[in-house]
């Protein structure tokens, strides 16, 4: 605390004499030869404090109970000054105070510091999540902002370890390093991905400060956190955008490199067909050759569609929903059989749609492949594709599988580029993002339907009404 010049005063009730020393007179901004009187001294205080001053003086004379109070006075020059005053009895007659005295100083600067600290405390309480924990990391106290962010109550958290907030994102080594830092008496700063009570995730910029006793021993930890989730999401989107731009730049050269050998493979297949006919084993060879030709055509079509999407141009045609879905089923047949997964197709299959068959096929193939991967360890494995004529302008193709839905914490991210829940099985995080982009390029939409008992994606296609133009994938 800062040292402030303290004045002194005294009041003798027997003579009515009131004494102010030099410092007290300077605080009141009166001449040094000024002779104060009791009634006049009370009038120096701001009107809303006068009754309080009079009452405390009266109480001291009647009971001997002193005071330590802060008042606001108006000086002789009209300036407002905050003062801290102490009063106590110094002489008694018949056990009653007859003379009182005290000290007096300008506390304006002190109050500014107090108000600043109070404002800082209020600011932190509304913008930061604050918690106190004991030496073992058990939570002792939390502020309302912390509870609001993470959806817990005080009863949920008091006495619990901060492990209750662990999202699983950080390694054991991460937290080992954190604890080594704070147990050594040093502050720790970093970003931590926390899990709220409802399972949602929150990035918090975290500052942990050990609190020491007079002997230098750690008695608790103070943690102050700021929500940086939005900032982290922006950084992640920037990273994704950079990755996608890199992929796009590389894709052009990859397309060129792959198309050349596909042309050679097609030519070789044609020669193989001629040789098969020459040795008169047409039926034996044609079946396998036709399968290879279909796959070569499919690969070629995929790359042509990719090239069209990258350049913002492509071809539309009138297609049969039934024929397209049968082709998709044929392409998926080997994988379906290998994983013992049943695929059924139902609904209004006679519908015609004017669009890009390659795009629609690729979207549905991706949904089928995702369903197979997600359910390959389940006993009950099936996929249903249903087609509904919604109205005059839209067709709904739903792909439903035997899974029980996507966790709520992942639903908002599944269409983000490079986000995957299948890292162990080699997922790239591009499938759903690209599928959504393909749907939107055709003026349609791909959504996850959380209202279904099972995992369900809905592809909404627009019926042809006039010319449909490509939307650039960029």
Q: At what angle do helices 282-311 and 431-441 cross, to 10 degrees?
A: 70
- Supply φ then ψ for residue 391, to 5 degrees: -165, -160
Residues 6+ apart with CB under 8 A from 344: 382, 383, 384, 385
pLDDT over 50 (residue 453): yes
Domain layout of the chain by residue ranges: 6-112, 128-227, 230-305, 312-462
In this prediction, residue 253 carries a pLDDT of 53
pLDDT digits (tens, 9 = 90+) for 295-309: 666 666 656 655 554
CATH topology of domain 128-227: Beta-Lactamase (3.30.450)
CATH class of 6-112: alpha beta
Burial grade of 170 (CB within 10 A; 0-12, 13-18, 19 or more)? middle
For residues 285 and 192, give the distance between their C-alpha atoms in angstroms, rounded to a whole number: 61
Q: For the chain, percent helix, then strand, then coil, each to nearest 5? A: 45, 25, 30
More confident of the two residues 442 and 137: 137
For 122, 162, 200, 201, 398, the CA distances from 149, given in Å and listed in that order, are 17, 15, 10, 10, 36
Query: How far is it, in rounded angstroms, from Cα 54 to Cα 60?
Result: 10
Q: What pLDDT does residue 130 have? A: 87
Task: Give 106-152 pLDDT, tens digit per residue.
Answer: 887 776 666 656 555 666 677 788 899 999 999 999 989 999 999 99
Is 86 exposed, middle or buried, given 0-12, 13-18 or 19+ CB atoms closer than 10 A? middle
Q: Between residues 294 and 42, which one has the greater pLDDT? A: 42
Please indicate whether residue 309 or residue 437 has the higher confidence score (pLDDT): 437
Question: Can you list the alpha helix ranges (DSSP code H) found in 343-459?
Answer: 357-375, 408-411, 431-441
Distances (CA, A) of 338 to 293, 325, 376: 22, 20, 10
Query: What does the pLDDT read at residue 362?
Result: 83
Strands 342-347 and 382-389: parallel
β pairing state of 201-212 and 218-227: antiparallel
In eight-state DSSP terms, residue 2 is: -
What residues have CB less than 8 Å from 1, skipping those under 6 apart? 110
Domain covering 312-462, topology: Heat Shock Protein 90 (3.30.565)
Amino acid 244: pLDDT: 52
> What integer best gives the mean pLDDT of the chain?
80
* Per-residue pLDDT tens digits for 219-250: 899 888 888 888 887 777 666 665 555 555 55
Identify the pLDDT of residue 127.
77
pLDDT score, position 104: 84
Q: Could you check whether 6-112 and 312-462 share the same CATH topology?
A: no
């Amino acid at each position: 605390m800062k040292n402030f010049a303290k004045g002194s005063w005294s009041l003798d009730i027997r003579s009515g004499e009131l004494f102010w020393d030099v410092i007290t007179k300077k605080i009141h901004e009166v001449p040094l030869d000024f002779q104060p009187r009791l009634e006049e001294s009370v009038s120096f205080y701001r009107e809303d404090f006068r009754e309080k001053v009079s009452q405390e003086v009266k109480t001291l004379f009647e009971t001997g109970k002193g005071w330590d109070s802060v008042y606001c006075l108006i000086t002789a020059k009209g300036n407002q000054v905050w003062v801290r005053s102490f009063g106590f009895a110094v002489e008694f007659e018949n056990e009653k105070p007859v003379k009182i005295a005290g000290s007096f100083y300008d506390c304006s600067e002190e109050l500014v510091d107090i108000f600043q600290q109070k404002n800082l405390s209020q600011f932190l309480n509304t913008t930061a999540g604050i918690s106190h924990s004991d030496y073992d990391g058990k939570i002792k106290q939390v502020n309302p902002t912390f509870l609001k962010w993470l959806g817990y109550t005080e009863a949920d958290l008091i006495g619990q370890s901060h492990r209750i907030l662990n999202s699983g994102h950080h390694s054991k080594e991460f937290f080992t390093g954190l604890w080594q830092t704070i147990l050594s008496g040093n502050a720790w700063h970093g970003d931590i991905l926390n899990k709220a009570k409802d399972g949602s995730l929150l990035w918090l910029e975290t500052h942990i400060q050990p609190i020491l006793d007079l002997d230098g021993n750690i008695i608790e930890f103070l943690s102050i956190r700021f929500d940086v989730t939005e900032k982290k999401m922006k950084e992640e989107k920037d990273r994704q955008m950079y990755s996608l731009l890199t992929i796009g730049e590389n894709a052009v050269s990859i397309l060129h490199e792959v198309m050349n050998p596909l042309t050679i493979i097609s030519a070789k297949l044609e020669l193989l067909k001629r040789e098969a006919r020459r040795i008169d084993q047409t039926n034996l060879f044609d079946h396998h050759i036709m399968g290879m030709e279909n796959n070569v055509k499919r690969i070629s079509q995929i790359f042509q569609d990719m090239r069209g999407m990258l350049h913002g141009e492509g071809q539309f045609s009138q297609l049969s929903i039934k024929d397209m879905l049968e082709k998709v089923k044929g392409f998926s047949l080997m994988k379906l059989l290998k994983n013992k997964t049943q695929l059924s197709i139902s609904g209004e299959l006679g519908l015609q749609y004017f669009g890009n068959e390659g795009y629609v096929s690729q979207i549905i193939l991706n949904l089928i492949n995702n369903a197979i991967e997600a359910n390959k360890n389940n006993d009950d494995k099936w996929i249903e594709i249903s087609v509904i004529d919604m109205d005059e302008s839209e067709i709904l193709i739903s792909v439903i599988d035997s899974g029980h839905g996507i966790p709520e914490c992942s639903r908002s991210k599944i269409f983000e580029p490079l986000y995957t829940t299948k890292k162990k099985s080699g997922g790239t995080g591009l499938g759903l993002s690209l599928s959504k982009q393909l749907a939107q390029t055709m003026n349609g939409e791909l959504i996850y339907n959380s209202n279904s008992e099972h995992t369900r994606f809905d592809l909404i296609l627009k019926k042809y009404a006039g010319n449909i133009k490509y939307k650039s994938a960029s």
